[in-house]
Amino acid sequence: MNKININLENIPHFEKDINLVLGYFDGIHLGHQMLIKKAKEEGYKLAVLTFDKSPKSVINKNRDVILTNESQKEELFKNLGVDILLVLHFDLKLAALDKNQFIDQVIKVINPHKIFVGEDYSFAHLASGSANDLKPYYNTDITPLLSIENEKVSTTNIIELLKIHNLEKANQFLGRNFQIIAKVIPGKQNGRKIGFKTANLQLIDPFMVPGIGVYIGYAYIKNIKYKAIINIGTHPTIDELSQPLIEVNILDFDKDIYNQEIKVDFVRYIRDEIKFINLEKLKEQLKKDTLLAKNSL
């Protein structure tokens, strides 16, 4: 796959010899995957036009949570068979283009054979452009939104599912395990005192953090996969923290990995974060959690 970072001044031009898929594609969930696979089927070279930043985060100036960062998206696009990934720099100037300007300055320059979008695709200033506005210029294929058991497969819905601990459904919608990428940072080392070492995580991008509680899943360190218990919480038993922390206990692993990158897959929610009456009770529970991770993953 060829990845090209572009802006309004250097948009590449094609001779109607590529199929173009449009969208921001946060999460690259099953709906996105279906759209890309459909565009791939036609035999033309497949290009995806996306943005480097979420339009919402640029316009509203707040940091939006994300389901996938740039590197994850790149890997997923590549594995879906995308040949050319066009990453358009999104800034207020681009956001100010009205729909005809966007078509003239971006779409017509690229000049694809055919365009593929999802039913809810919108573009240009105040999202005034819709898929139908592209139809007069290019053969445009509009894919209806994917629903599973009457629920819409959408990034917003997946974020809501993660908030309420429904990892099973969120992962089903994603077509893989929900994953965050972080750096391991020194923590308070309270875990060591009770013989339960954890890695404290600092997210490298504003990933969506699932609701407070305890999860089982996998940790990847230098691409080696380990079973893991993930705690998202405030440490009510030891000394309560103001900000929720993400901590990972990696099974059968005993190395210091400060400042290293770690990827964490969330597979299942196992329990609430409980305030235990003493450390012994907490230790007992951690033993049970470990056993569960060992046997059920």
Partner 1 sequence: MDGFLLINKPIGWTSRDVCNKISHILHVKRCGHVGTLDPFASGLLLVCVGNATKTINYIDHSIKEYIATLTLGKKTTSLDITGEVIETKEIPNLTISDIEKTLKSFVGKIKQQVPYTSAMHVNGRKLYSLYYQGIEVERPFKEVEVNDISLISYENNNITFKVTVSKGTYIRVLGESIAEKLGTVGFLSSLQRTKISDFDLSQAINVSEVSEEKIIPIDVIMEKFVYKISVDSIMAKKIKDGMTLKFENVKTDIIYFSDSNNEPIAIYKRKHGDYFSCARGIWKYE
Query: What does the binding site for partner 1 look like in residue numbers (CB under 8 A)?
Result: 75, 78-79, 222-227, 252, 297
Rounded to the nearest whole angstrom, what is the least distance from the CB of residue 249 to partner 1 in the complex? 16
Distance spanning both ends of the chain, measured CA to CA: 33
Nearer of residues 92 and 224 to partner 1, judged by Cβ? 224
Rounded to the nearest whole angstrom, what is the least distance from the CB of residue 272 to partner 1 in the complex? 26
Nearer of residues 75 and 272 to partner 1, judged by Cβ? 75
Nearer of residues 25 and 116 to partner 1, judged by Cβ? 25
What contacts 251, CB < 8 A, 6 or more positions away? 226, 227, 228, 229, 290, 293, 294
Bridge partners for 297 per DSSP: none
CB 16 within 8 A of CB 113: yes
Q: Which of 203, 234, 201, 168 is nearest to 67 (CA)?
A: 203
Rounded to the nearest whole angstrom, what is the least distance from the CB of residue 76 to partner 1 in the complex? 10
Nearer of residues 239 and 252 to partner 1, judged by Cβ? 252
d(CA 234, CA 23): 37
CB 191 within 8 A of CB 247: yes
d(CA 50, CA 84): 11
Nearer of residues 10 and 223 to partner 1, judged by Cβ? 223
Rounded to the nearest whole angstrom, what is the least distance from the CB of residue 77 to partner 1 in the complex? 11
- Number of C-beta neighbours around residue 171 at 10 A: 21
